[in-house]
Chains A and B, each alone.
Chain A
């Protein structure tokens, strides 16, 4: 593989940048693989990369029905954080933070990881108490957390509404300074390029249509481009998990819902951290291009539409304008939506299943982008060793049966509310 470096950049300038190697080849499906990963989003690509890198399993195919990174991987708002209270979520995410910090070097690809910090705003004394508790839990797990008072928040985001006469005054906030953002497409491309270079076949425009299961064991997978024999399958299809689960006669603790996001026209740098509103569901950051990147609630009813509906957007932006009134002056540039695998306790599933050779990775809800490296790493381990790693022990499928839920927000099983 051609290394991306300043020297190669200069060298290739002499040939007008026409002679760069392709970042990955367009593979056609072989008849047989050791492992097939379904879904060419972040999690599928990262899983294949760590299978090859950490476990020397390279006879692997990633099967993607559309184009690489065209699902939620290319639709998210790129927030990366580990500000969780529960140990399982905190330790898993913080392991991921470490991988994020090394990612550009590790992949030889600039993923533009930008640890600009995230601030969760509090609008009451009670919320400040809850944040103090969460912050302390984070620090006990070695994660950086700072409780900010009103004045300290004002110093960081003076453009927020600090007037006396607001419905949800800002009391303070909980900040994780090491949190941030990265360029989502670059993460997908970086993993794809490295996985390909180690021998992984990336097969796009190929839809998985069924499975060969004999005697409770995976024997193969059926695709729109032919049948493939394989003994181990990793399912990483995010918002399509329910559809493929049905083909496996499984019903899973996940519902499919639509989440929207939007960006404004680009403006000069004004906001250098990620901020979430505490009295509703709204969050904002500013992209390197200057666009204000915003999102919030689900559309609120089961959906596979991959495009959103206006009432939710209006509701979310009303919260945004309450928090930062200057936003009302900006023009909206684009809105879009992605279909989300919403689990019943808000936490993901990375586990084996009752079918031998079938491994499940789903339930990412609002937070699967940041989980990309840790999810790929632990899922690769689970597939390669046929047992879960300590880091994803808590993300079991059986926890719903045994009552060991990971309900970070304490919201219960109405996925469209959480």
Chain B
């Protein structure tokens, strides 16, 4: 339009575009790193069901609601659901992955020190979704 200069707008748009490039590049890089599963990660099978979590360790032991792991080890969760969608979440470790019937999704984490953390469901799954909670117990390394 006539009567005013447009260069401030070009600079402004340029700054936004540059910012978005920066956010995108950082996000791409970080996500690439966090998705790289260590080769020695132990597999834990996670099953979501209305309205509880069930865990199966590599050695075949099963737990319901509470999951025991050791500090200093890497774990890979293989997550699925037997009924509706859920989302497996350990917020303190930024572990989040949907549990979807008919699929197995994976995500990994490596707890660094002993302690207790909440496990919860973060995808709406009906009546008791609000209380589909569990506990993660990180124990001192056994050796």
> Is A bound to B?
no
B residues in contact (CB < 8 Å) with A: none
A residues in contact (CB < 8 Å) with B: none
